[in-house]
Structure 1
Amino acid sequence: MTEQSYDVVVLGAGSTGENVADVVVRGGLTAVLVESELVGGECSYWACMPSKALLRGTEVLSEARDVDGARQAVTGEQDVAATLERRSSFTSHWDDSGQVEWVQGAGIDLIRGTGRLAGERTVVVTAADGTETRLTARHAVAVCTGSMSATPPIDGLADVDPWGPREATSAKEAPGRLLVLGGGYVGCEMATAWQALGSQVTVLQRGDRLLEGMEPAAGDAVARSLRDSGVDVRLDTDVTAARRDDGEVVLTTSGGEFRGDEVLVAVGRAARTGDVGLDVVGLEPGNYLEVDDTLRVDGSSWLYGVGDVNGRALLTHMGKYQARQAGAAIVARATGEDVDTSDWSPFVATADRYATPSVVFTVPQVASVGRTAKEADDAGLPHRVVDIPLEVAGSSLFADGYEGRAIAVIDTDRDVLLGLTFVGPAVGELLQAATIAVVGEVPIRRLWHAVPAYPTVSEIWLRLLEAYRG
């Protein structure tokens, strides 16, 4: 067994791990990334990039068909083979050599293999050929192994070889009939994509609406759009059993049997911590890591859990955000600098408590940041909800018959925004302004002076303020 020492050892070379390593190296420390799969991780190869590439053509065609004059130019259908090839180009055809080149150029070492904790500040990496390397971290070990698709305990489901999100984003052809188990953002996005690419999609959602956890209007709008595109959306439907019958997937549900060629399981995520040696340091394998706001594991002086692995906000951009904060805290502690742990210090992650932005890339898009009305209610915060149609000059220019909504949750004591949700075509581009307003706690009286350009969709900000003032 060979032995090496670094200031920081990072388990997992996805976008979160890469950013932790990059920050600490730029801060003057040494770092090594340990990765058993592709460098770049889930987002680059199986999640954000390929899924949005699959969806983009559908979105563009929808926008073109919604503008008279442009509509007449759309005389054909989406080229499925070209769409899948474009998708594959965004994953570099599942070749991570470009990412490896970036890692090397950033001054970060890389070791291929499965890393497991073997004691305090110690990681043993087992390569594919069985050889082992013992790594000692002088300052910190950061677990950035992310999350994986969860499979619910449904009789027979594991035996039908179901798709997870990885299979859904990397498939080489559209299945004739696709059953989607789950109506969250993955289920809704993949239903949108594969229905447009030629599949007959059925969405089976256990709850009474899609996109639970978001404003109800968002799930309602996406359900209407999916149904209009030909997707069979079934709500309040419990799946109780699964089997293969002459190659078909058969799901037994509270609403009868459903048959398809493939089934996508998209019911949530689980921490990828089952095989990283947590038991060696007194933690429970398979659980999310409990961390403080500097992303350090509770009760430890050297172990960090960053990104999906801590379960706080399972989004790529939030993993990168946490990585920047954790990396800064690691460097500060290594160099003897005081680490300020108050809100909004450069060493803490606090935005993932109540200011997380997200976009669901369905048709229409759903863009949200901060608290929903229900979350404000649950927190006992005095608030008012402003819910208006997204109707301004900019939206009518963007698309004929543009339909959308803007929903603001406003703290009536402090007169600041608690949360904002936009539903409609291309509303993801409105989100950063909303995020700044929520994170910055910009008083409503100041937002009156943030004049939106005419005629843009951003003029909806003025309509929200007018509706709030009454």
Structure 2
Amino acid sequence: MAAREYDLVVIGAGPVGENVADRAKQGGLSVAVVESELVGGECSYWACMPSKTLLRSGAALRAARDVDGARQAVTGSVDVAAALRRRDAIVHDWDDTSQVDWLRGAGIDLVRGHGRLTAEREVTVTDPGGEEVVLAARHAVVVSTGSAALLPDIEGLKDAAPWTSRDATGVRDVPSSLAILGGGVVGCEMATLFASFGCAVTLIARSGLLGSMEPFAGEAVVEALRNAGAEVRTGVDVETASREPDGDVVLTLSDGSQVRAAEVLVATGRVPRTGDVGLESVGLAPGSWLDVDDTLRVRGFDWLYAVGDVTHRALLTHQGKYQARAAGDVIAARARGGDVDDAPWGRHVATADHSAVPQVTFTDPEVASVGHTEASATAAGLGIRVVDYDLSWVSGASTHADHYQGRARAIFDERRRVLVGATFVGPDVAELLHSATISIVGEVPIDRLWHAVPAYPTVSEVWLRWLEELGR
């Protein structure tokens, strides 16, 4: 079988794979992308876009109820059917025609089917009908297959047919009750969503919620979930699970209690989707995370790259796309014979995913964070100053809502006199995050921040309050 030759072959056509392919194409390379599902990937159809679309209905309703004059116009709860219709529109009814058209317009070839590495610089693609095509890469192969939900080793859980996040965001019939395992971002967002749909939610987490963030963030989400009618159980493990004859799932917890729900959602972590991409053909372990350098090249190879979740650096779409832009540029530059390993301008490297990762958790209240927490900065040996501020004291908060509640924490490195971490908790704080990200990445000196004047009256005035507190 004659191989089809390209400069670059990308396995996985999610937003990360699309970006690396596009950057390489703009750099003058011929590119093919391989996809076994939908072009646009997890984010477009089962994760970021549908979940945030579904969450928005409840958030908008809560915002209206917190403003006198709008509150009186609210006469009901979330219209679940309408929210699901809006979700369907956002995901184009799980039709990727527009994404395929974009690839075609960009001059990137799409090969449908399951792609596996079968030799150095070689990918064999098996289409749904069993036909195979071999793609040969002159310069590089990129693995961009993402991650999948981790199914924890709990007796009976697999046989209970648990939901993953895909089932939750693709829901057609909202269950009367839902048990959620895991207190991370997915678990907290889905608890917020299904509570807004009128579902009886029980969230079970071994420790507190949002454990990698500042403790006050998880505490605020717990309070809000309970106020919304959800039950939050922490400090317990699920020991067994069973699907009962009546269709319900029964979970037995480590304290001897039981939780019964119509469905159970597993949100306890992620695993790399590398179990069947042919890693063994090049001496790597199937199912492993792929260790890459800052040019996203897999260590030990001069032709194999990995981007996005499979690198385990930062499992977020925006960070994966950032990695993809760097990888696409570096692959094109190396193909031209350029020396980019020590590029002083840093264009061809991905470093922001080490210490400046922005993330928004779309719960009620929202949680937006970037860089260090107090705990991580202390563990890193930094000499820090922590500045907390109650967002309800900012003038913009009083115009935003009648009962605004929120908190903002800044972590300053006292030796370098720069911001190294920020966490915001409150309504619509996602829009505060990028200013903090720019400050951290740009290492803007505190003395210069005094000249970045926040508009009045906005919640962004917290920046001025931070500096005033810092100066005391």
Shorter-chain TM range is over 0.9
Q: Which residue of 1 aligns with 2:436?
A: 434
Contact kept? 2:181, 2:187, Cα under 8 Å = yes
**1:274 to 2:282 alignment:** no
CA distance in 1, matches of 2:170, 2:17: 23
Q: Which residue of 2 aligns with 1:451?
A: 453
2:352 counterpart letter in structure 1: A
Q: Which residue of 1 aligns with 2:421?
A: 419
Q: SS at the partner of 1:192?
A: helix
Q: SS at the partner of 1:188?
A: helix
Alignment of 1:4-403 (within 5 A): 4-207=4-207, 209-246=208-245, 247-255=247-255, 256-341=257-342, 345-390=346-391, 391-403=393-405
Superposed CA deviations along residues 250-283 of structure 1, whole A, max 9, x for unmatched, are 1111231100000000001001000000011011
2:356 counterpart letter in structure 1: A
Contact kept? 1:294, 1:341, Cα under 8 Å = no
Superposed CA deviations along residues 36-68 of structure 1, whole A, max 9, x for unmatched, are 001100000000000001100111111110111
CA distance in 2, matches of 1:432, 1:173: 36
CA distance in 2, matches of 1:72, 1:224: 25
CA distance in 1, matches of 2:49, 2:123: 31
Contact kept? 1:343, 1:350, Cα under 8 Å = no
CA distance in 2, matches of 1:173, 1:196: 14
Contact kept? 1:151, 1:265, Cα under 8 Å = yes
2:416 counterpart letter in structure 1: R
CA distance in 2, matches of 1:145, 1:6: 19
**Could you tell me the percent identity over the aligned residues?**
60
Q: SS at the partner of 1:6?
A: strand
2:152 counterpart letter in structure 1: P
CA distance in 2, matches of 1:206, 1:2: 54
Q: What's the CA shift for 1:365?
A: 0.3
Q: What's the CA shift for 1:293?
A: 0.3
Q: What's the CA shift for 1:137?
A: 0.2
Superposed CA deviations along residues 199-228 of structure 1, whole A, max 9, x for unmatched, are 100000011x10010000100000000000
Q: SS at the partner of 1:402?
A: coil
Change (3 A) 1:124 1:172: same
Contact kept? 1:354, 1:370, Cα under 8 Å = yes
Change (3 A) 1:418 1:203: same
CA distance in 2, matches of 1:304, 1:468: 44
Q: Which moved more, 1:391-400 or 1:333-342?
A: 333-342
May I ask how many residue pairs the two structures share in their alignment? 469
CA distance in 2, matches of 1:198, 1:174: 9
Change (3 A) 1:228 1:164: same
Q: SS at the partner of 2:155?
A: coil
TM-score with structure 2 length normalisation? Answer: 0.98
1:458 counterpart letter in structure 2: S
Superposed CA deviations along residues 214-243 of structure 1, whole A, max 9, x for unmatched, are 000100000000000000001101001100
Contact kept? 1:46, 1:170, Cα under 8 Å = yes
CA distance in 2, matches of 1:131, 1:174: 39
Q: What's the CA shift for 1:341?
A: 3.7
Q: SS at the partner of 2:3?
A: strand
Q: SS at the partner of 2:75?
A: coil
1:97 counterpart letter in structure 2: T
Q: What's the CA shift for 1:88?
A: 1.1
CA distance in 1, matches of 2:156, 2:227: 32
Contact kept? 2:123, 2:135, Cα under 8 Å = yes
2:91 counterpart letter in structure 1: T
Q: What's the CA shift for 1:343?
A: 7.6
2:220 counterpart letter in structure 1: A
CA distance in 2, matches of 1:145, 1:344: 29
Q: SS at the partner of 1:308?
A: helix
Q: SS at the partner of 2:258?
A: strand
1:450 counterpart letter in structure 2: A
CA distance in 2, matches of 1:147, 1:408: 32
Contact kept? 1:179, 1:203, Cα under 8 Å = yes
2:400 counterpart letter in structure 1: F
RMSD between aligned residues: 0.9
Q: SS at the partner of 2:175?
A: coil
**1:408 to 2:410 alignment:** yes
Superposed CA deviations along residues 116-160 of structure 1, whole A, max 9, x for unmatched, are 001110111111111111110000000000100001111111111
Structure 2: state its 5+ residue gaps. none
Q: Which moved more, 1:431-440 or 1:71-80?
A: 71-80
Contact kept? 1:2, 1:132, Cα under 8 Å = no
Q: What's the CA shift for 1:336?
A: 1.1
CA distance in 1, matches of 2:455, 2:131: 61
Structure 1: state its 5+ residue gaps. none
Q: SS at the partner of 1:111?
A: strand
CA distance in 2, matches of 1:104, 1:378: 48
CA distance in 2, matches of 1:342, 1:457: 39
Change (3 A) 1:341 1:178: farther
Superposed CA deviations along residues 8-38 of structure 1, whole A, max 9, x for unmatched, are 0000000000001000001110000000001
Contact kept? 1:293, 1:341, Cα under 8 Å = no
